[in-house]
């Protein structure tokens, strides 16, 4: 296993252990203070770190291809997605840690209003904006595979997974349409956040199709790269469903915090994807150099 993957795994395990301790304390005492601090402080710090790692390795992946190669554009868009995720999480971290004290000096804008606005803006950048860049990057990869007839057939499990996510997305769109019919006036930030579910469905379909085509070609590190993207997208979908269920009061109080833990697994999965790509190219380059040396 490449060293960066071990680091990501170890950080995820340590963060998960701390989260489990906070959760056990919450179950025993019924007090939200520790678990709230864990999510708002350690959780955001973890998301920032994973987004930074994802951005760095996406940049390395981008640099492995020449400008005129299609995959250069693909990884450029994925790099921009990681950058958006990092910026959005940094905004959220700033809201929590320093309260955006600047707003306390603006006439007519309270600190609470400023925090809420910036928090929503951070969610929009780290969510739909990042997803849009990611979807554009995967579309470029799919176009390349379709051009060379590398797309493989989807398995039954792939189709079922896509169907479940599409059904949930349709349900969410129906609720949004109902709100608009009732003359609900959303903010700009909220309207941007409404794109999260459709973009998630698109991302899942794209990632599953790419991974299936790579598996049909033999798998390896490249297949694990796209497999990590599938895992990340599915995990985000699970977190999205959990948030929806919690908002509807469908989850018991003791189970609700688990809907937040899954976002950390998604962040780690997104960070591992470009690592696999980088090491896949390095491995191929090393093998090619060795072959040339032997042939001499």
**Tokens 């809907």 belong to which residue?**
259
Per-residue burial over 22-49, b = 16 or more CB atoms within 10 Å of its CB, e = otherwise: bbeebeeeeeeeebeebbeeebbebbbb
Band of residue 283 on the pLDDT scale cut at 50, 70, 90: confident
User: What pLDDT is attached to residue 83?
Assistant: 95
Neighbouring C-alpha atoms within 13 Å toward the C-beta of 148: 11
Which of the two residues, 64 and 212, has the higher pLDDT score? 64
User: What pLDDT is attached to residue 291?
Assistant: 40
Classify residue 100 as exposed, middle or buried by CB count within 10 Å of its CB (0-12, 13-18, 19+). middle
Contact 74, 112 (CB under 8 A): no
Query: Does residue 154 sit in helix, strand or coil?
Result: coil
What would the pLDDT profile of 205-222 be if each residue is shown by its tens digit? 887 787 777 666 566 787
Query: Is the pLDDT confidence value at 292 over 80?
Result: no
Query: Is the pLDDT confidence value at 296 over 60?
Result: no
Contact 103, 109 (CB under 8 A): yes
Share above pLDDT 90 across residues of the chain, in percent, rounded to a whole number: 24
Query: Is the pLDDT confidence value at 144 over 80?
Result: no
User: How many separate domains does the chain show?
Assistant: 1
* Structural domain boundaries, residue 20: 3-295
Q: Which of 170, 294, 142 is nearest to 286 (CA)?
A: 294
- C-alpha 260/C-alpha 270 separation (Å) is 16
Which of the two residues, 144 and 229, has the higher pLDDT score? 229
What would the pLDDT profile of 113-127 be if each residue is shown by its tens digit? 667 777 778 888 888
User: What pLDDT is attached to residue 8?
Assistant: 94
Q: In the 8-state DSSP scheme, what is residue 186?
A: -
**Rounded to the nearest 5°, which phi and psi values hold at 207?**
-65, -40
User: What pLDDT is attached to residue 14?
Assistant: 95
What would the pLDDT profile of 176-207 be if each residue is shown by its tens digit? 788 778 777 777 767 777 788 888 888 888 87
Q: What angle do CA 277, 283, 284 make, to 5 degrees?
A: 90
Share above pLDDT 70 across residues of the chain, in percent, rounded to a whole number: 82
**Tokens 């959303």 belong to which residue?**
186
Residue 184: Cβ within 10 Å count: 10
User: What pLDDT is attached to residue 101?
Assistant: 47
- C-alpha 162/C-alpha 243 separation (Å) is 19
Band of residue 293 on the pLDDT scale cut at 50, 70, 90: very low
Task: Report, as an integer, the average pLDDT of 259-264.
Answer: 86
Band of residue 106 on the pLDDT scale cut at 50, 70, 90: low
Q: In the 8-state DSSP scheme, what is residue 248?
A: T
Q: Which of 6, 48, 44, 42 is nearest to 21 (CA)?
A: 42
Least confident of 44-53, 102-111, 140-149, 232-241: 102-111
3-state helix, strand, coil split of the chain in percent (to 5) is 85, 0, 15
User: What pLDDT is attached to residue 139?
Assistant: 86
Contact 21, 237 (CB under 8 A): no
What would the pLDDT profile of 23-45 be if each residue is shown by its tens digit? 999 889 888 889 888 988 888 88
Band of residue 254 on the pLDDT scale cut at 50, 70, 90: confident
**Rounded to the nearest 5°, which phi and psi values hold at 252?**
-65, 160
Q: Distance between the two ends of the chain, CA-based, in angstroms? A: 31
Tokens at 77, concatenated: 């868009």
Contact 268, 12 (CB under 8 A): yes
């Amino acid at each position: 296993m490449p060293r960066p993957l071990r680091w990501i795994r170890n950080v995820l395990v340590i963060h998960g252990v701390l989260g489990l301790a906070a959760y056990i304390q919450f179950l025993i005492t019924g007090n939200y203070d520790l678990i709230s601090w864990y999510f708002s402080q350690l959780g955001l710090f973890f998301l920032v770190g994973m987004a930074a790692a994802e951005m760095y390795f996406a940049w390395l992946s981008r640099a492995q291809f020449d400008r005129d190669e299609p995959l250069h554009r693909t990884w450029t868009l994925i790099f921009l997605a990681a950058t958006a995720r990092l910026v959005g999480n940094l905004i959220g971290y700033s809201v929590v840690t320093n309260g955006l004290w600047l707003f306390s000096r603006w006439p007519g804008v309270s600190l609470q209003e400023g925090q809420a606005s910036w928090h929503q803006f951070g969610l929009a950048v780290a969510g739909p904006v990042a997803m849009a860049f990611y979807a554009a990057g995967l579309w470029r990869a799919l176009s390349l595979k379709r051009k060379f007839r590398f797309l493989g057939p989807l398995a039954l499990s792939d189709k079922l997974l896509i169907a479940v996510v599409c059904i949930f997305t349709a349900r969410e769109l129906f609720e949004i349409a109902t709100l608009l019919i009732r003359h609900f006036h959303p903010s700009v930030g909220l309207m941007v956040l409404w794109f999260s579910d459709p973009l998630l469905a698109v991302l899942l379909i794209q990632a599953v199709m790419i991974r299936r085509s790579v598996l049909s070609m033999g798998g390896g590190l490249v297949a694990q790269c796209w497999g990590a993207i599938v895992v990340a997208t599915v995990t985000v979908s699970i977190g999205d469903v959990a948030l929806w269920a919690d908002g509807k009061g469908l989850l018991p109080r003791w189970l609700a915090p688990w809907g937040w833990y899954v976002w950390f697994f998604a962040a780690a999965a997104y960070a591992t994807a470009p690592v696999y790509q980088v090491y896949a190219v390095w491995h191929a380059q090393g093998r090619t150099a060795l072959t040339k040396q032997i042939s001499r």
